[in-house]
Amino acid sequence: MSHIQEFPRDVGGEDPLVDQQIIQTHLNEDGSTSNYFDKRKLKIAPRSTLQFKVGPPFELVGSYNTVLEADTLETVLFQINPRIDRGFDFIDDGWVGYKRNYFTLVSSFETPGLDLDTFLNSSFKVQLHDRHNSPLLLVKYFAVKIRARSDDDRTEISLVQHTAKRDKGPQFTPATCPLIPSALPQHQIIREASNVRNSIKMRKYDSTFFFHRDEDREKYNVHGIVYSYPDECIQKVARYERVQFASSINVKKPSQQNKHFRLHVILGAVTNPPGGISPYCSYDDALNMCDEMTAADGSKEYFIPLQEMKTPPLVIRGRSPSNYTSSQKIAVRTNSSVSLASKNSSSISPVIISPRSSIPPSLSPPEQKANRSSKRRSKVSENPPSLSSLVNTGVGQNEYRTSKRVETIEHIERLYKEKSSLHLRTSDENNRCRNDDNANDMKRPKISRQDSIDPKEIELKPPTCGSDENIYVVGSLALTATLQSDQEDLKLKRRRVNKIEAHKITDTEKVSKNPKKCLLSSNLPTQSSTAPPSPRSPIEDSQEEESFGDSLNHDLHSISLSILDETSSNYRHGPNSIHSNDENVPRSFSRVIGETSFTNLHGYKHDKLRMKERLPSREILSLPSQVVEGDEFYQELSFYRH
């Protein structure tokens, strides 16, 4: 699990490059990554895997009551394993979630020193700590539940869970979940297993999440606890997905300061005392942990808390537009796109990233709602066609679309310089600019073929690196690899590099044709701290890729992705006949854990064989989704693509 102390802490500060790190990538324990970004500055597609990320680490609140093995009266130890897998970003030294968005909390528990079969065949009794004279109560089953509390006054906050149908399905309170001991599946497994509908895949994950006691009846003692669980199918992992804070919560104090919340996970023993009289009704009512429940047969059950863990304080951002990029959007007026208002003066340009997009983030359309119904006419829907629509659509009614061409980098750059600032503008300023732009539009001559280029003809130059061996500049991206060994020096090094890398241009000039070649050649995490890399050819890459996965696994701490302001020098323009054959090849970035940090799907098939040879078998076996060798390799590895 990620530990908060290990997170890169150097976001912001006086270093402009560091200031621009809008995605903080952290390597999770299982080799997957968590990408933390501020939704005020960066909009990521709702289904992007970047929305999955390990959230805040849990801390122990306390252990409350003692469980004894019924025959030996030996004390049983418990350990809750909770983790948040979606919904919280680590921003500016704090954990931030969104009221409107889902979070995922998973938890299992384990019984150190007691193996599963012994556990299932045993009976347990619970001793209440503050009632030493009370009889031991037979445990019917163990269960976990989750709660949310205000960190200021400890009041309980309602949580709401949806089905995948969201508004069309029911809403409910996260339920108490009967569990047997199990390890917590890795983050990547939770990602992969979310939204699985295919029966083959469901079967694949069945043993990870469920235990079917009737599948091996002879193996288990009918007097063991396994037969007092309420259902034949017993969960090994509590998965609380699609959970939200109640929409009615107030996320700000009257003073307009952020309120802080905490999520709690409570492991308990559920008892079914004779007579249905609560054994524990007066236990810490403020915590409301000794729930009375009704079993399927109508009898009363009581949840007796055993152990509790909680998150650090969480900030929940409300629905205010100021919490979204839309309030800060800039866009640059060119022949094919239009400016939008900006309301603050953040130094970081908001960016929209669609990982599958073939054009860089800043060239994505400014929130175009082309098919919005007349009932709700979007302001932006009235805009001229966006740059990306020029690139992506083959049909259109205006001249730009039919030409399928965009302005040259140099032309756009010239425009920006003339406009003096690409940074965020105030609304007034922006409105002024829009008017200016409109005026310019009238005067602007049509794009000539000489002044325009086909985006396919723009390609990345090989990556460059500064004096810092762990920073690679590829197109508009600066990738900063933090190794375990040099994490401490990171901040200092970045400052040094920034002085050297200070010559780039605007972030709207990026049209990447083949990031793979460069990123592979960057060989990012393998650099030693004493040998700064130089730009490499693909041939050199292939010679050095052998050590890449090993190094990644052993020394990579995190990768930071920055989008640079000025990058035209990192692209070149040249008609390339090879491209014409690759028109339909996806050019999205993907990530193959243990192989290379970022790869391109383009060329993946070529690499497939080489990858099989390169990947040490240890790494294959360590992949969370039980990757096997042979033909399934490709299919399984696809889980790691982003």
Which residues are near DNA by CB under 7 A? 39, 43-49, 51, 86-87, 98, 100-102, 164-167, 191-192, 194-198, 201, 241-242, 247-250, 252, 318-321, 324-326, 352, 354-357, 364-365, 367-373, 375-381, 584, 642
Contact between 96 and 312 (Cβ < 8 Å): no
Q: Which is nearer to DNA, 186 or 307 (CB)?
A: 186
Shortest Å, Cβ 579 to DNA: 16
Shortest Å, Cβ 238 to DNA: 17
CA–CA separation, 247 and 100 (whole Å): 8
Q: Which is nearer to DNA, 89 or 501 (CB)?
A: 89
CA–CA separation, 280 and 304 (whole Å): 7
Retrieve residue 72's tokens.
């030996």
Q: Which is nearer to DNA, 98 or 302 (CB)?
A: 98
At 191 the three-state DSSP class reads helix
Shortest Å, Cβ 155 to DNA: 15
Q: Which is nearer to DNA, 45 or 77 (CB)?
A: 45
CA–CA separation, 19 and 227 (whole Å): 57
Q: Which is nearer to DNA, 181 or 361 (CB)?
A: 361
Shortest Å, Cβ 492 to DNA: 33
CA–CA separation, 624 and 598 (whole Å): 18
Shortest Å, Cβ 621 to DNA: 22
Return the residue matching tokens 């951002």. 317
Q: Which is nearer to DNA, 80 or 157 (CB)?
A: 157
Contact between 574 and 457 (Cβ < 8 Å): yes
Nearest alpha carbon to residue 317 among 45, 4, 101: 101
Q: Which is nearer to DNA, 258 or 354 (CB)?
A: 354
Shortest Å, Cβ 23 to DNA: 13
User: Where are the extended beta strands (E) located within 111-193?
Assistant: 124-127, 137-150, 156-157, 159-162, 171-172, 177-179
Number of H helices, E strands in the chain: 16, 34
Shortest Å, Cβ 189 to DNA: 12
Q: Which amino acid is at 544?
A: E
Contact between 604 and 617 (Cβ < 8 Å): no
Q: How many other CB atoms are there within 10 angstroms of residue 78's CB atom?
A: 19
Q: Which is nearer to DNA, 356 or 573 (CB)?
A: 356
Contact between 502 and 587 (Cβ < 8 Å): no
Contact between 590 and 601 (Cβ < 8 Å): yes
Residues 6+ apart with CB under 8 A from 161: 171, 172, 173, 174, 240, 241, 242, 243, 244
Q: Which is nearer to DNA, 183 or 196 (CB)?
A: 196
Task: Give the side-chain half-sphere CA count within 13 A for 389.
Answer: 22
CA-CA distances (angstroms) from residue 455 to 52, 408, 445, 461, 570? 31, 9, 20, 15, 15
Q: Which is nearer to DNA, 50 or 306 (CB)?
A: 50
CA–CA separation, 474 and 488 (whole Å): 24
Q: Which is nearer to DNA, 73 or 202 (CB)?
A: 202
Helix (H) or strand (E) holding 90: strand 89-91
